[in-house]
């Protein structure tokens, strides 16, 4: 069994770091040591895990499958270690968490509230805001963020889950205006756009072999609340681009239908982000582990 675990942590770190060199820095190893560890792992498995060039390493199809399995196994190990420690020490103190309004209310808060129910001496201070917060300056222990993280000095991050965004509309709207069959046809329809401040959030749509592209349809409808956009779409006001977790029940009930189902979905990663520290408080580690275990279920693709 020990032989089967050899190299797994290095492999996962290499994937998450984006290459051998960065993984070596994180693990305090030489690049050569990381490369040899991956090579031994590939030899034992009998598959190639990475496509290698002189500059970058990308996962093969087998590598992607193995990475997802390894990630689940490591999550279980981390959760087990935290649960063992929580059995020896009482989880107590205040935990300040920042999250976006809707994602926090629908997906994050229920997990943390259940955690607090299990640990009566844990104090929760949950802040719901769509603005980016400065964790250190504002005194937050943890933030839940979606999409690209960008630079963050002095911060640590752990990917928690992946969710998809879909283009959708009400059957009544489509009965009157017709169902767009290609992305270019969106220009002939009413669309419902999400804005924050002065910025309109673009739609990340598939672009054939070139991956995805940002598209901002022309529209007379702009809202700064995703829930209102979902309600307006149900009312037949136009086509919307929304997280699947937000409209899942509306789709199940038939009040909304998804469009362009033959095209790849836009996927966004969700992260736990916290200030870098030598030793994490038990309450923080337990919260991160609980979110990693439960969030994929609440935002199932």
Q: For 245-301, what is each residue's pLDDT tens digit?
A: 999 999 999 999 999 888 877 788 899 999 887 678 889 999 999 999 999 988 876
Q: Contact 260/183 with Cβ under 8 angstroms?
A: yes
pLDDT digits (tens, 9 = 90+) for 132-155: 888 888 889 999 998 766 555 678
Q: What is the mean pLDDT of residues 175-189?
A: 90
> How long, in residues, is the chain?
301
Task: Give φ, ψ of 275 to 5 degrees.
Answer: -65, 140
Q: Contact 49/41 with Cβ under 8 angstroms?
A: yes
pLDDT digits (tens, 9 = 90+) for 71-97: 777 777 766 665 665 555 678 899 999
Which has the higher per-residue pLDDT, 121 or 152?
Answer: 121
- Alpha-carbon distance of 154 to 276, in angstroms, equals 5
DSSP annotation string for 232-283: HHHTTS-EEEEEHHHHHHHHHHTS-EEE-TTSPPEEEEEEEEEE--SS--HH
Residue among 125, 164, 134, 167 at smallest CA distance from 146: 164
Q: What is the mean pLDDT of residues 57-83?
A: 77
pLDDT digits (tens, 9 = 90+) for 23-45: 887 777 888 888 889 888 888 88
Report the range of poorest mean pLDDT among 80-89, 202-211, 228-237: 80-89
Sorted by where each starts, the structural domains of the chain and their CATH numbers stand as 2-78 (1.10.10.10), 90-160+270-298 (3.40.190.10), 164-267 (3.40.190.10)
Q: What is the mean pLDDT of residues 196-218?
A: 75
DSSP annotation string for 10-22: HHHHHHHHTSHHH
Highest mean pLDDT among 2-6, 74-78, 111-115, 263-267: 111-115
pLDDT for residue 33: 87
Report the range of poorest mean pLDDT among 11-20, 44-53, 205-214, 233-242: 205-214
- Alpha-carbon distance of 261 to 169, in angstroms, equals 13
DSSP annotation string for 93-136: EEEEEEE-HHHIIIIIHHHHHHHHHH-TTEEEEEEE-SS---HH
Cα(first)–Cα(last) distance of the chain, in Å?
32
Q: What is the mean pLDDT of residues 1-18?
A: 75
pLDDT for residue 136: 83
pLDDT for residue 111: 96
**How far, CA to CA in Å, does 200 sit from each of 143, 148, 218?**
23, 17, 11
Residue among 40, 43, 89, 47 at smallest CA distance from 65: 47
Confidence label for 116 from pLDDT (cuts 50, 70 and 90): very high
Which has the higher per-residue pLDDT, 154 or 223?
Answer: 223
pLDDT for residue 119: 93
Q: Contact 236/250 with Cβ under 8 angstroms?
A: no
Q: In terms of C-beta density within 10 A (0-12 exposed, 13-18 middle, 19 or more buried), how is residue 115 classed?
A: buried
Q: What is the mean pLDDT of residues 46-59?
A: 80
């Amino acid at each position: 069994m020990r032989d089967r675990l050899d190299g797994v942590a290095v492999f996962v770190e290499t994937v998450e770091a984006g290459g051998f060199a960065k993984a070596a820095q994180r693990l305090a190893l030489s690049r050569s040591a990381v490369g040899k560890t991956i090579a031994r792992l590939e030899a034992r498995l009998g598959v190639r895990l990475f496509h290698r060039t002189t500059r970058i390493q990308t996962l093969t199809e087998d590598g992607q499958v193995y990475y997802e399995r390894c990630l689940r196994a490591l999550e279980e190990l981390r959760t087990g270690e935290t649960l063992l420690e929580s059995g020896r020490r009482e989880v107590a103190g205040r935990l300040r968490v920042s999250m976006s309004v809707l994602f926090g209310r629908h997906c994050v808060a229920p997990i943390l509230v259940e955690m607090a129910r299990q640990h009566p001496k844990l104090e929760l201070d949950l802040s719901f805001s769509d603005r980016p917060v400065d964790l250190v300056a504002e005194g937050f222990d943890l933030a839940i963020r979606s999409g690209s993280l960008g630079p963050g000095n002095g911060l640590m991050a752990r990917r928690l889950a992946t969710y998809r965004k879909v283009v959708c509309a009400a059957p009544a709207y489509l009965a009157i205006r017709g169902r767009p069959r290609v992305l270019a046809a969106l220009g002939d329809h009413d669309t419902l756009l999400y804005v924050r401040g002065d910025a309109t959030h673009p739609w990340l749509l598939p672009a054939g072999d070139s991956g995805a592209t940002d598209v901002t349809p022309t529209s007379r409808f702009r809202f700064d609340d995703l829930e209102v956009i979902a309600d307006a779409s149900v009312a037949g006001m136009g086509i919307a681009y929304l997280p699947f977790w937000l409209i899942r029940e509306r789709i199940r009930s038939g009040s909304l239908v998804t469009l362009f189902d033959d095209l790849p979905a836009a996927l966004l990663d969700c992260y736990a982000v916290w200030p870098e520290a030598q030793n994490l408080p038990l309450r923080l580690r337990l919260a991160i582990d609980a979110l990693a275990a439960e969030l994929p279920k609440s935002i199932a693709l």
